[in-house]
Amino acid sequence: MTEPKYLRYPVKPLLHLFAELSNRQVSAVTGLHHSTIQRWRNDPDTLITEWEADHYAVKLGKHPSELWETWFEIDAPGTPIRGRRKRIA
């Protein structure tokens, strides 16, 4: 089985940030379609790519590491390499 191309993160932490806002208000800030936000609210275990997670966190005024504790755990076994440079011997 091949490893996923990108790390994935649950949308639940994002949902906590805009729990008091309507779907349309969140849409205005993030650029997401209001139906996507409703789909996330219906299934908070939905996963998004690391790039989407970064984009939406920043749009909401946060660094992704503030929302996902594992954001910097890029060298953990079994996770794809993100931002690691090749070592020169």
pTM (predicted TM-score) = 0.72
Bigger pLDDT: 4 vs 35? 35
Name the residue ranges covered by the structural domains of the chain: 8-62
For position 84, what pLDDT does the model report?
Answer: 47
For position 85, what pLDDT does the model report?
Answer: 44
Strand partners, 47: 10
Question: Tell me: the pLDDT tens digits for 10-30?
Answer: 999 999 988 899 999 999 988
Question: Tell me: the pLDDT tens digits for 30-88?
Answer: 899 999 999 999 999 999 999 999 999 999 899 999 999 988 876 555 555 555 444 44
Distance of CA 53 to the CA centre of its chain: 2
